[in-house]
Amino acid sequence: MAQGRVSGLRARGGFELDIAWSGGLREQVRVKSHAGEPLNFIYKTWLSRVPLQVAGLFLLGTSLMATSTPAGERYDFGGNVASTTLYDDARGYGFEPVTPEFPTQRFSAKASEGNYKVTLRFGDRKGAGSTTVKAEARRLMIEDLVTKRGAVVTKSFIVNVRTPALAPPPPNAPGGSMVRLKQRELDSPTWDNKLTLEFLGEAPMVTPLTIERVDVPTVYLAGDSTVTDQRVDPNGSWGQMLPRFFKPDIAIANHAESGETLKSFLTELRLDKILATIRPGDWLLIQFGHNDQKSQWTQTYVDAATTYRDYLRIYIAEARRRGAVPILITSPERLAFNGAGHIVDSHGAYPDAVRDVAREQQVALVDLHSMSKVFYESLGPERAPTAFAEGGRDLTHHSNFGAYELARLVAQGLRTADPQLAAHLDPEAPIQ
């Protein structure tokens, strides 16, 4: 019986093939990457029944790793990307390690700053699936997509990737070359040079995906902890839930961060980071107030009647100077009911200040402050705590449920506030 081995063959993508056969049939196929490490091979079972001559032609014409195609970078889970392939910067893709903070399966691909269209195929011939996909620091992209056994569904969404880098200012000019991140942000997926996807659900079914750079409008978010991408489940914010409500023809760039005020967002160069890339056809959503009202924060406190309004005008002017459209959003209320079952106002004169500036500057307004009160009161004192973090022990921040519902309200407000932006809302999203 004829036996033999062919080594050193090269498939597209740089894989080295080591094929042994006996009697004209393949007995063993080993595939190595550039670095020489063995990788899972998606066609292993199929090749066991195919003559070597045919298999060899098929292999040499097939891309076995993440490859550049006209549609972008393609990754095949369970095939050329094994579940044991950990992210490596030299390779440029792989799975992130499981940690207490991120206990779920996350896949990353190296990416420079910009917007990317991610296209995934869901489904499996062996069983039904239920998949949720989040990006970067838990931004909701695909919500509970159910696929029947044997069915295949293709979905796309847009992910914004950024790093803290800024163009250095000229010599002797004030400013900086990096956003002044807090210590807790240094290892955040929000600020690295990777596009990270998280796969969740009762039975996640994700097969090949492609990632391609795209040129689409961007919605920038500037705000505080009620807007930011909350990293730890089950906490959430409306900003990280907002992508779910838009079509895959626009990006959501959430620059909000916990503890921020209108003044600190400026001094930490976060607004500069937005202004470095915002352009005509983009939007800037602005929501501050929770921390601006804290008079004990003497370095960042702004008065609702004077300086708070002035800083809002600065944000509006800077966005308009670059051809972008500013939209003001009033802060959602905190969790506090009075004896009559109504939410107690904790923001004082700040929501009215936002409303006044919106009228004065002829800026679109989403009155999340009023809408959130109606939402909490509809739940009532017994159920409203479920919308907040730690079962309501945290009176300011939200659970995933509360964040999702606030994002739904923001989307609802945007639909009436800005018709051009409303055209990008997903018609299948659950917006009332």
Could you give the residue numbers annotated as active site?
225, 390, 397
Q: Strand 283-287 relative to strand 218-223: parallel, antiparallel, unpaired?
A: parallel
Cα separation, 416 vs 410, whole angstroms: 10
**Identity of the residue numbered 62:** T
Instruction: State residue 254 phi and psi, 5-degree precision.
Output: -90, 100
Answer positive or negative: Cα dihedral of 272, 274, 276, 280: negative
Whose CA is closest to 257, among 283, 234, 278, 237?
A: 237
Residues forming beta bridges with residue 81, ordered by sequence position: 77
* First-to-final CA distance of the chain: 71
Cα separation, 138 vs 359, whole angstroms: 34
Q: Is 341 left (phi over 0), alpha (psi -120 to 50) or beta?
A: left
Peptide bond before residue 234 is cis, with ω within 30 degrees of 0: yes
